[in-house]
Chain A
Amino acid sequence: MVHKVLEHHDDNGRKVKCLSCGSPYEGFFCFDCHSLLSFSGDMDYFAMLDVEKRPVIDPARLKENFLKLSEYVHPDKYYNSSHDVQELALKSSSLLNKAYSTLKDPKERIRYLISIESDREAPVSKHASAETMEFFIDASDICSEIDRFAKKKGGDENLTQDHLKKLHELKEETWTRWERVLREVAELDKEWLTDSGDNRKTKVRRLTILSHELSYLSKLQSLIDELIIAIS
């Protein structure tokens, strides 16, 4: 098996023609002749992982594609190849990992989608809905109080249990809100691929706000998790 480093792209810069066997291929790897491909920089994460470019994607399919591609591009598979091929495997594998970690997390995925949809337009204000903001602030206050408690050593066992209960309630509530946002994302996802023009623009604007909601909620989630660990 010969692994050749290929640097050829077609005119739109996306399709890569495998030089070893001539098959047109898009991505990291030519499945016809089993060579690593050098892909062009403007290929997006959705295309890399062969999933539709939309707000909601099937996590099982995403994972399956990621694992399959990893088997082809991971540096371990090219350990006895030339230095150039090893470098390419390291580069491809790093990029694939980045693409997967971005797409598997709804918050990151939506952010990424917005960034490629809006052609890096000026970002709208960072605010989430007033209701989420209020919840976030109240919850953070509770967390700081518990944090002060956690930092004192030898806390009272009953109080610890109370705090734990409170944290679990907060976690539950945060989760409910997270799910609610994701349901709205799923609504926006409907007919996403056929939407165009103003319709798409309106959706992107709404998605932007939802992505901020998700940011606040995920920040809160990790704060709560940290505290649960600290006082358990």
Chain B
Amino acid sequence: MSRIIGIDLGTTNSVAAIIEGGKPVVIADADGQRLTPSVVAFGGGEEPVTGHNANRQRILNPKKTIYSVKRFIGRRGSDIKDEDMFVSYPVSGSGEEPVSIVVDDKRYLPEEISAFVLKKLKKDAERYLGDSVDRAVITVPAYFNDAQRNATKKAGELAGLKVERIINEPTAASLAYGIDKKLNATIGVYDLGGGTFDISILDIKQGVFQVLSTCGNTRLGGDDIDRRLIDFLLSRIAAGGGGDQSGNLMVLSRIREEAEKAKCALSFQEEVEISIPFLTSSFSFKYKLTRKEFEELVRDIIDRTRKPCLQAMMDAKLTRDDIDEVILVGGSTRIPLVQQLVEEIFGKKPNRSINPDEAVALGAAIQANVMSGLISNLLLLDVTPLSLGIETYGGFMNVIIPRNTTIPTRAGELFTTAVDDQSAVTIQVLQGERQMASDNWSLGTFALEDITPAPAGVPRIGVQFTIDADGILHVLARDVNTGKETAVHMKSTIDVPQDQVEKMVLDSIEHGKEDAAKKELFDAKVEADKVLTATRKALNKCSHLLKEEEKSLIGEAISRTEAAISRNDTAGIKESTTELNQATEHLASLLLGETAREVVEKKPGHK
């Protein structure tokens, strides 16, 4: 049987890992990259582009470059607030419909987009191992509900992977942290990623990793911080005379890129110069952002992780003094303000010894080897993050399996009829912590049918709810009188039938068939973007050495190129790219000089 790989399918980046020589290692792609951006770009030929190549298109092709799709996976239209729609590509779905992404009039479900990312990871792993890979352990945020877990599993299937186990990200990270140490400790795992936040508290004892409690927010992460910063920059741009750019997708994508860069830089330095030259043909933007100012901007977002931490401690019936270590996971934990908050909540300096980007995938690889029996002295006991219940009379939720119950778990409930000779009972299954059924997430409904006619209250139908080790729900109904058992199919609103999904996948492939004109446009855009990026970089470094008329010539060429890109005008793009190349010849030679000087200046002993 083929090897099982571990995959962290992240909001921003995804990582694959495997055990080699007894140690979990990250699988790098052909270019040596360890992180694969969870980005899928449509545009060119047959299949969409994924990973780094797709990421490069974000500015060029904002409407067809799909990122952060994890925020939408397993969700319905009515779950998505306007603020969640803050992505540069069109997201549709309202009410009970699943959320979908529309590219070139084709609708894609979030799991289909994720499948493209998984396919790339699968391919990279196959190249690395020199063998086919068709089995994986995939991680999800601990606070993901049943629908989100199912959708993630489906993404794996669509990518041609048998998903052997879904495990929770913080739990996976704890495996990577604890496997080599003979640990006997109570730890907290604080996982703030690109789009989701989890806190889990675990007891580790003689190789058993027992989760005591977990809490989180599946819509909280680095994306929210970026967005806050983008809004701020937009207001500075408007105030500086750059006009209202909030509707200009291409400009927005550039601002987003700069915002993200600035955020990362501020984790290591006290201030950063944000510079976006030629935002319009006549306006260049520059702003010096200090860490202090940044922290004030995003403090309330980061502070939203506090309550889940307190909740998790209370659910585990522990105080902060009972927790020996708090491990940081997820890229956003590089932010000093996050580390400060964690220290304040838990009363101790957080432990930053594991790689926040890779630990989850490494843990998934460890669990993969547990599944194949290659590791036998380790066991994971996880919990279900959300209470499971059913709607009862009066619109209340009746909890059947409380949150933080160790999985697998099984609970039974007896149902009966409300009127004489009732032949079917419909039951609504819910997940969540609120009292009113309508405030919780509805997993779907199922019907108990063919009930033998009898007076109200006489029939007895036992329903068994099982949450398996993946955290996924299975329902089995049993007529107590006849003993007949039926596996109940839950009609989930976001559960699109398999054949429909297959059709959607086929459609997308057919649609993407090689189209010469499109391909040419695509290539022209990529080329243009390279030149644009190089020009902007060069301007950043040495625009002060240029004459005014040179600057305005370059500025015009940039705008012409950008305009051609947004018109999808292949010939125009090619022409303006050539012009831009010509206009920047002097700039390029200056840059060469500037770079040469930098090299000299950086030589040791040279000040």
Give the interface of A toward B (CB within 8 A): 67, 70-71, 74-77, 79-80, 90-91, 93-95, 97-98, 100-101, 225, 228-230, 232
> Which among B210, B311, B371 is the interface contact of A76 at CB below 8 angstroms?
B371
Q: Is the CB of A94 within 8 A of B379?
A: no
Give Cα A100–Cα B381 distance, bound, in whole angstroms: 13
CB-CB nearest in chain A for B307 = A229
Q: Is the CB of B410 within 8 A of A229?
A: no
Q: Mask for B196-213, Cβ within 8 A of A = 1, else 0? A: 000000000110101000
- Residues of A close to B370: CB separation below 8 A: 76
Q: Is the CB of A67 within 8 A of B307?
A: no
- Residues of A close to B376: CB separation below 8 A: 77
Beyond A74-B381, A77-B376, 8 additional contacts (C-beta under 8 Å) are A70-B379, A76-B380, A90-B408, A93-B408, A98-B410, A228-B314, A229-B311, A232-B310
CB-CB nearest in chain B for A76 = B370
Q: Mask for B448-483, Cβ within 8 A of A = 1, else 0? A: 000000000000000000101100000000000000
User: Chain A nearest CB: distance from B357 CB in Å?
Assistant: 26
Asked if B227 is at the interface of the complex by the 8 Å CB criterion, the answer is no
User: Chain A nearest CB: distance from B434 CB in Å?
Assistant: 12
A98-B409 CB under 8 A given contacts A67-B208, A70-B208, A70-B381: yes
Give Cα A70–Cα B469 distance, bound, in whole angstroms: 13
Asked if B280 is at the interface of the complex by the 8 Å CB criterion, the answer is no
- Residues of B close to A98: CB separation below 8 A: 409-411
Give the interface of B toward A (CB within 8 A): 164-165, 205-206, 208, 210, 306-307, 310-311, 314, 370-373, 376, 379-381, 405-411, 466, 468-469
- Residues of B close to A100: CB separation below 8 A: 406
Give Cα A228–Cα B309 distance, bound, in whole angstroms: 12
Q: Is the CB of A75 within 8 A of B381?
A: no
CB-CB nearest in chain B for A90 = B408
- Residues of B close to A94: CB separation below 8 A: 408-410, 466
Q: Is the CB of B208 within 8 A of A101?
A: no
- Residues of B close to A76: CB separation below 8 A: 165, 370-371, 379-380, 469
Give Cα A90–Cα B465 distance, bound, in whole angstroms: 12
CB-CB nearest in chain B for A89 = B408
- Residues of B close to A79: CB separation below 8 A: 164, 371-373
Q: Is the CB of A67 within 8 A of B410?
A: no
What would 7 A/B residue contacts be, using CB atoms closer than 8 Å? A70-B381, A76-B380, A76-B469, A77-B379, A90-B408, A98-B411, A232-B307
User: Chain B nearest CB: distance from A88 CB in Å?
Assistant: 12
> Which among B210, B310, B405 is the interface contact of A67 at CB below 8 angstroms?
B210
A67-B407 CB under 8 A given contacts A79-B372, A232-B306, A232-B307: no
A90-B306 CB under 8 A given contacts A71-B208, A79-B372, A97-B407: no
Q: Is the CB of A91 within 8 A of B410?
A: yes
CB-CB nearest in chain B for A80 = B373
Give Cα A64–Cα B278 distance, bound, in whole angstroms: 66
Q: Is the CB of B372 within 8 A of A80?
A: yes
CB-CB nearest in chain A for B311 = A229
User: Chain A nearest CB: distance from B409 CB in Å?
Assistant: 5
Q: Is the CB of B469 within 8 A of A225?
A: no
Q: Is the CB of A75 within 8 A of B406?
A: no
Give Cα A143–Cα B125 distance, bound, in whole angstroms: 56
> Which among B164, B314, B469 is the interface contact of A229 at CB below 8 angstroms?
B314
User: Chain B nearest CB: distance from A174 CB in Å?
Assistant: 13
Give Cα A101–Cα B411 distance, bound, in whole angstroms: 13
User: Chain B nearest CB: distance from A203 CB in Å?
Assistant: 27
Choose among B311, B370, B373 the residue with the greatest number of A CB atoms under 10 Å from its CB.
B373
Q: Is the CB of A75 within 8 A of B307?
A: no
Give Cα A225–Cα B313 distance, bound, in whole angstroms: 10
Choose among A74, A76, A95, A98 the residue with the greatest number of B CB atoms under 10 Å from its CB.
A76
Q: Is the CB of B372 within 8 A of A75?
A: no
Q: Is the CB of B314 within 8 A of A225?
A: yes
User: Chain A nearest CB: distance from B383 CB in Å?
Assistant: 10
- Residues of A close to B468: CB separation below 8 A: 75, 90
User: Chain A nearest CB: distance from B158 CB in Å?
Assistant: 23
Q: Is the CB of A101 within 8 A of B408?
A: no
Q: Is the CB of B381 within 8 A of A228?
A: no
Q: Is the CB of B206 within 8 A of A97?
A: no
3 closest Cβ pairs, A-B complex: A94-B410, A97-B406, A225-B314
Q: Is the CB of A229 within 8 A of B310?
A: yes
- Residues of A close to B307: CB separation below 8 A: 229-230, 232
User: Chain B nearest CB: distance from A84 CB in Å?
Assistant: 16
Give Cα A98–Cα B405 distance, bound, in whole angstroms: 9
- Residues of A close to B165: CB separation below 8 A: 76
- Residues of B close to A232: CB separation below 8 A: 306-307, 310
> Which among B164, B205, B371, B466 is the interface contact of A90 at CB below 8 angstroms?
B466
- Residues of B close to A101: CB separation below 8 A: 405-406
CB-CB nearest in chain B for A94 = B410
Q: Is the CB of B310 within 8 A of A228?
A: yes
CB-CB nearest in chain B for A232 = B310
CB-CB nearest in chain B for A98 = B409
Give Cα A52–Cα B376 distance, bound, in whole angstroms: 30
Give Cα A99–Cα B136 distance, bound, in whole angstroms: 32
User: Chain B nearest CB: distance from A50 CB in Å?
Assistant: 17
User: Chain A nearest CB: distance from B313 CB in Å?
Assistant: 9
> Which among A67, A80, A225, A230 is the interface contact of B205 at CB below 8 angstroms?
A67
